[in-house]
Amino acid sequence: MRVVVTGATGFVGQRVCAVLAAAGHVICAALRRDSAALPGVTERVVVGDAGPDTAWRAALAADDTLVHLAARAHQGESEQARADFQRINVDGTRTLVEAAIAARARHVVFISSAKVFGEVSPPDAHGQPHRFCAGDTPRPVGPYGESKLAAERLLEQHCAHAGLALTILRPPLVYGPGNKANLQALMRAIDAGWPLPFAAIRNQRSLVYVDNLADAIACAINTAAGLRCHTISDIDLSTPDLVRALATGMGRPARLFSCPVGALRALGRLTRRGDSIARLADSMVLDRTRMARELGWVPRHDLVSAMRATGDWYGRRAC
């Protein structure tokens, strides 16, 4: 089928285009501006910046499937950041779904975020981190999670009214070749041989490898039906285990030492990096069983091969 992908030049978007093209789909990239050739993309349409005036209609045709990845993802609490989250993640999505309905598209796959649940899995009755599933009540913290939830809700309203199939996927931290932000900073620290004070952390955090996420999107495309929402992950790791897995993939030693978690949190507050320390120390886990059952998705790449590919990419980039 013809698949229109927004955010096709991004970390996840590039792999989604390649995986869907390999599955035999015709890929049209809806781009902010013209760019170099993208693997798997056969059509490119410049629609401009995501927002209330984006020319999405130029990229869409009848019976298209739409994979919506374009979003502002960087964190921020300023008034300008909040305005950008609203303009790009909410208003841009509203304009997009209106264009999809006008074009008589067949299916929208929206990549939301686990952050619609907040930042932490609270303990369950057994003292274990609660494993979020799609039926849990969203409680986003901060403008990014709030904007993703707002986009979900307007998509649900528009698609239900128009009879347009909608699949919402809520992934956790996505890792793999090309990852940026905090994970890349952690890889730089490992590569530099810095001792990392995380050995005493006993948390659990869900992650998903970028190609496994792309495979999940392919499964969603092939099973369009009504309105669906799924949480997705392929591994749960503690922070020290994540460091060890990254280090192994990079061919570097994991230089971990113990520091009391309370001391780490106090240091984070003093240095105004409390949120970063919380993400390293707290648990945030997702349930994938419903998605596996209903979409037939099984992670194709295991942790070892995924981390090796990530480490190889980092090594090429560092050269």
Q: Domain 2-175+208-233+285-301 sits in which CATH superfamily? A: NAD(P)-binding Rossmann-like Domain (3.40.50.720)
Burial 67-79 (b: 16+ CB within 10 A, else e): bbbbbbbebeeee
pLDDT at 319: 62
Position 318 scores a pLDDT of: 64
DSSP symbols for 46-102 = E--SSSTT--GGGG--TT-EEEE-----S---SHHHHHHIIIIIIIHHHHHHHHHHH
Q: From CA 122, how far away is CA 110, in angstroms rounded?
A: 26
For 227, other C-beta atoms within 10 Å of its C-beta total 14
The predicted pLDDT at position 212 comes to 97
Q: How far apart are the first and last CA of the chain?
A: 39
Q: Specify whether the CB–CB gap between 94 and 161 falls below 8 A.
A: no
Instruction: Give pTM, 2 decimals.
Output: 0.94
3-state secondary structure of 137: coil
Task: Say how many C-beta atoms besides its own lie within 10 A of residue 80's C-beta.
Answer: 8
Q: In whole angstroms, how large is the CA radius of gyration of the chain?
A: 20
**Tens digit of pLDDT per residue, the chain (319 long)?**
999 999 999 999 999 999 999 999 999 999 998 877 788 999 999 999 999 999 999 999 999 999 999 999 876 778 888 999 999 999 999 999 999 999 999 999 999 999 999 999 999 988 899 999 999 999 998 899 999 999 999 999 999 999 999 999 999 999 999 988 789 999 999 999 999 999 999 999 999 999 999 999 999 998 877 899 999 999 999 999 999 999 999 999 999 999 999 999 998 999 888 888 988 999 999 999 999 999 889 999 999 999 999 999 999 876 6
Predicted pLDDT at 105: 96
Q: Give per-residue pLDDT as tens, 164-218.
A: 999 999 999 999 999 887 899 999 999 999 999 999 999 999 999 999 999 999 9
Which stretches within the chain are classed as H helix? 11-22, 79-84, 92-103, 143-162, 181-192, 210-222, 239-250, 261-270, 274-281, 289-295, 303-318
Is the distance from CB of 254 to CB of 193 less than 8 angstroms?
no
